């Protein structure tokens, strides 16, 4: 590999050695020379449309755009001389010809690039006196407010949709002075990352609709935070106004989310003001009605109830479900309480039914690849994974990899649209093992390696499948390859065998292997020991008492929905420590302790790469709610257990860090020795889960703006074209059936969102 050619250039009288092939504006930014710009953004292609970055380059007859001009050896650049400044001022005057004088009411005022640059490059008087151009207001949905009269046609939003989001929803119509940025057909934005155009817009043309007209930027208090909707660890900034969360924006972290966040990261804060917020402790009375009590009585009653259940029923009759998005401190304290109470049944894996390979599980389910390396992958195999809906910001990186030449294959019951070319294999859940076994055989033959002996019996049972050969051809060419399991793979009844087959494919083809695990902190849950139980067993064989820790909606968060509600209803004790109380939870709970919501508590999360991130509370807890870690600490003191005398949240993290590090380096066996699978003929229709991106956790379900988008839940069942029935009545609810060739035969994707009490992957009747 040859070294990059270095060039010598001069900027404003100073000499610099720079790499060949770079633009003037890139070099200037790197060395700290300010050049004004509007259309240029380092994550987008070069448009050179605003001309604000004009600079004087020696031996060139006129000023040149710094964004579209590459450096050359010996180039002399002047950014501040009279020629450059005159050009920049002329451009600014043109940009302001049609710009309305909205600054007193514009949400962008105080963080507006046009406003800032007009101070340095604008004139006090304009020669233009004609009426300003006017556009009709357009409605592009509940998330983004438009004031297109302010638009300066920088096209950042247009290029973002096409190049980053993968869905071009805005574009330019007409030409010249009639050019307008709008939608070609009037509709709401349907991208899961559409809100990033708010941050990209250099003026006030695109602003956040839920937070419009609230305050000026300097009135907000900014607090660093991390998203809790997936395991990527997306960096955000929570802005508070008079002690309340007012908006959330992106925070740059090149190694995780670059500068992007998903719409659910940006707008889910609305849930903190939901009518479902748990306001005060509640205990069921003799009339079987929850009544409010103070914290002293609430904690005392909780201690007595749990203690009584352990003593009367036995610790083996008490189960604990911990949210996979709970902080490490909360998970650690929950496990510490459970250990001292003798409770061993504790888990965070709510969407898993097959736990037979727990003995060979890794220390935690990681991506298996560095997040910032995803863009440079050559081959990606998505097994039961839907990155757009599970980790939207990671899906941006996958699209970047595809633009760089990567090939992507998909195995699922439904052809999920990833907004890039994908080799899709659509199969019923009970056929996934057969498909993967064929891929494994093809890869082993190609690489001239043997299949793992633990899988030989399973491979022998598989029938031939030509589709698998196409997937196998993606691997084994000394490329950077990645096989990743998503939530549909984890929830598959054959998960253990699927995991083993994928891992063996990865080993034989020299690929990396990983998971897109549920929740924001499943890695922390594994390392602290609260994801080591067996959710299926705790539901299938109902216990006498359950403790729910964190933001858990039992009617939505479990794959076995009917079974978990049945188990909770028959239990003698259900203690819920939660920021939200749904009607279903109110119906089954005997004690409810209100906890602070995200943004109202300190805590740490570990992402799927193993990076630990700690954040501070941005706002005070609402109503009488308390931070969950403090509730657990006080409960420990109520039980008179030792080791619960923490002062700060950081004290909890300091104590558990040693355990996290130790558990992270735990060795594990690659395959279970008792793996078994028999090909079975599917009888009738099987129900498989269908979930909108805005139904994945308790927060997005309670965000009004997100629920008003096209990606929110819809009452429909999706079936294969062979399904003739157009309307179904299931559990007393009527559903419309949408038939599509993208769906596996004999399967119905049934939405979780409407309280349909069925256990997925079971045969159903309409």
Question: CB within 8 A of 276, min separation 6: which ones?
Answer: 580, 581, 582, 702
How far, rounded to the nearest angstrom, does the alpha carbon of residue 690 sit from its chain's CA centroid? 17
CB 426 within 8 A of CB 744: yes
173 and 215 co-located in one domain? yes
First to last CA, the chain: 63
Q: Show which of 32, 66, 95 is a domain's final residue.
A: 95
Give the mean pLDDT of the chain: 92
Q: What is the CATH number of the domain that holds 449?
A: 3.40.228.10
CB 115 within 8 A of CB 109: yes
650 and 749 co-located in one domain? no
Centre a 10 Å sphere on the Cβ of residue 498 and count the other Cβ atoms it contains. Answer: 25
Whole-number Å distance between alpha carbons of 732 and 108? 49
Whole-number Å distance between alpha carbons of 456 and 452? 7
User: Can you give the pLDDT at residue 386?
Assistant: 96
Is residue 110 a part of any domain in this protein?
Answer: no
What are the tens digits of pLDDT across the range 386-414? 999 999 999 999 999 999 999 999 999 99
Q: What is the CATH number of the domain that holds 266?
A: 3.30.70.20
335 and 372 co-located in one domain? no
Is residue 126 a part of any domain in this protein?
Answer: no
User: Can you give the pLDDT at residue 693?
Assistant: 94
Which pTM does this prediction carry?
Answer: 0.95
Angle between helices 628-638 and 328-341 (to 10 degrees): 20
Is residue 259 a part of any domain in this protein?
Answer: yes
509 and 547 co-located in one domain? no
Torsion of CA 607, 613, 617, 621, to 10 degrees: 30
288 and 254 co-located in one domain? no
393 and 506 co-located in one domain? yes
User: Can you give the pLDDT at residue 17?
Assistant: 95
503 and 406 co-located in one domain? yes
260 and 169 co-located in one domain? yes
371 and 288 co-located in one domain? no
CB 192 within 8 A of CB 267: no
Is residue 738 a part of any domain in this protein?
Answer: yes
Residue percentage of the chain with pLDDT more than 90:
77
Q: Show which of 515, 530, 552 is a domain's final residue.
A: 515
Domain that holds residue 397: 366-515
Q: How many domains does the chain have?
A: 5
Is residue 314 a part of any domain in this protein?
Answer: yes
Q: What is the CATH number of the domain that holds 589?
A: 3.40.50.740
Q: Show which of 208, 239, 273 is a domain's final residue.
A: 273
451 and 537 co-located in one domain? no
Is residue 150 a part of any domain in this protein?
Answer: yes
Is residue 486 a part of any domain in this protein?
Answer: yes
User: Can you give the pLDDT at residue 1?
Assistant: 41
Element (H, E) at 443: helix 432-447
Q: What is the CATH number of the domain that holds 756?
A: 2.40.40
User: CA-CA distances (angstroms) from residue 633 to 260, 339, 521, 652?
Assistant: 36, 14, 20, 9
- 626 in helix, strand or coil? strand
Please name the residue that has the structure tokens 């034989």: 508
354 and 320 co-located in one domain? yes
Is residue 390 a part of any domain in this protein?
Answer: yes
341 and 393 co-located in one domain? no
| Regions of the chain where pLDDT drops below 50 | 1
Q: What is the CATH number of the domain that holds 44?
A: 3.10.20.740
- 693 in helix, strand or coil? helix
Q: What would the DSSP string read from start to end of 258-285? A: BT---HHHHHGGGGGG-TTB--S-EEE-
């Amino acid at each position: 590999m040859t070294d990059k050619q270095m060039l010598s250039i001069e900027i404003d009288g100073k000499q610099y050695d720079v790499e060949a092939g770079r633009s003037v504006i890139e070099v200037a930014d790197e060395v700290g020379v300010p050049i004004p710009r509007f259309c240029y953004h380092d994550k987008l292609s070069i448009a050179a449309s605003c001309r604000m970055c004009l600079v004087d380059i020696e031996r060139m007859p006129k000023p040149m755009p710094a964004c579209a001009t590459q450096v050359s050896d010996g180039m002399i650049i002047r950014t501040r001389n009279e020629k450059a400044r005159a050009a920049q001022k002329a451009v600014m005057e043109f940009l302001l010809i049609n710009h309305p004088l909205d600054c007193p009411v514009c949400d962008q005022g105080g963080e507006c690039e046009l406003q800032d640059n007009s101070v340095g490059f604008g004139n006090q008087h304009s020669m233009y006196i004609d009426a300003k151009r006017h556009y009709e207001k357009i409605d592009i949905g509940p998330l983004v407010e438009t004031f297109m009269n302010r638009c300066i046609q920088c096209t950042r939003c247009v290029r973002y949709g096409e190049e980053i989001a993968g869905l071009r929803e805005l574009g330019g119509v007409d030409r010249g002075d009639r050019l307008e940025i709008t939608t070609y057909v009037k509709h709401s934005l349907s991208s899961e990352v559409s809100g990033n155009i708010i941050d990209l817009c250099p003026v006030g043309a695109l602003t956040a609709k839920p937070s419009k007209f609230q305050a000026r930027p300097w009135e907000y208090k900014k607090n660093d935070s991390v998203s809790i909707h997936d395991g990527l660890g997306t960096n955000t900034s929570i802005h508070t106004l008079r002690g309340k969360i007012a908006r959330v924006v992106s925070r740059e972290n090149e190694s995780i989310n670059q500068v992007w966040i998903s719409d659910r990261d940006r707008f889910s804060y609305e849930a903190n003001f939901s009518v479902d917020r748990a306001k005060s402790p509640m205990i069921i009375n003799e009339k079987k009605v929850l009544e409010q009590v103070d914290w002293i009585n609430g904690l005392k009653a909780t201690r007595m109830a749990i203690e009584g259940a352990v003593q009367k029923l036995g610790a083996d009759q008490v189960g604990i479900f911990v949210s996979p998005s709970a902080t490490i401190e909360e998970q650690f304290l929950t496990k510490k309480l459970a250990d001292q109470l003798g409770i061993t049944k504790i888990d965070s894996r709510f969407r898993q039914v097959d736990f037979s390979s727990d003995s060979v599980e890794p220390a935690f389910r990681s991506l298996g690849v560095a997040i910032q390396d995803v863009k440079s992958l050559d081959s990606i195999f998505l097994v039961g994974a839907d990155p757009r809906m599970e980790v939207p910001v990671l899906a941006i990186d996958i699209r970047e990899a595809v633009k760089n030449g990567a090939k992507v294959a998909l195995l699922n019951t439904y052809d999920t649209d990833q907004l890039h070319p994908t080799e899709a294999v659509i199969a019923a859940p009970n056929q996934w093992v057969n498909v993967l076994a064929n891929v494994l055989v093809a890869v082993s033959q190609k690489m001239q390696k043997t299949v793992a002996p633990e899988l030989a019996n399973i491979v022998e049972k598989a029938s031939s499948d030509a589709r698998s050969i196409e997937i196998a051809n993606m691997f084994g060419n000394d490329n950077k390859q990645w096989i990743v399991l998503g939530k549909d793979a984890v929830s598959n009844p054959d998960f253990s065998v699927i995991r083993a087959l994928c891992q063996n494919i990865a080993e034989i083809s020299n690929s990396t292997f990983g998971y897109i695990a549920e929740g924001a902190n499943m890695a922390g849950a594994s390392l602290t020991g609260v994801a080591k139980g067996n959710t299926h067993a705790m539901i299938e064989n109902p216990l006498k008492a359950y403790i729910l820790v964190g933001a858990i909606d039992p009617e939505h968060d479990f794959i076995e929905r009917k079974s978990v509600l049945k188990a909770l209803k028959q239990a003698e004790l259900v203690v819920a420590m939660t920021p939200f109380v749904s009607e279903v939870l109110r119906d089954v709970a005997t004690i409810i302790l209100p906890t602070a919501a995200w943004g109202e508590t300190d805590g740490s999360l570990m992402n799927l790469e193993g990076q630990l991130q700690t954040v501070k509370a941005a706002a005070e807890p609402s109503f009488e709610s308390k931070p969950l870690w403090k509730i657990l600490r006080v409960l420990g003191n109520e039980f008179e257990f030792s080791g619960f005398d923490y002062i700060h949240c950081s004290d909890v993290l300091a104590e558990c860090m040693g355990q996290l590090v130790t558990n992270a380096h735990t060795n594990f066996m690659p395959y279970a020795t008792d793996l078994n699978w028999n090909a079975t003929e599917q009888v009738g229709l099987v129900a498989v889960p269908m979930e909108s991106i805005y139904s994945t956790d308790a927060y997005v379900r309670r965000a009004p703006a997100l629920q008003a988008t096209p990606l929110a839940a819809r009452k429909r069942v999706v079936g294969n074209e062979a399904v003739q029935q157009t309307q179904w009545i299931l559990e007393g609810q009527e559903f419309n059936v949408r038939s599509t060739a993208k769906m596996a035969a004999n399967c119905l994707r049934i939405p979780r969102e409407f309280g349909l009490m069925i256990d997925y992957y079971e045969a159903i009747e309409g």
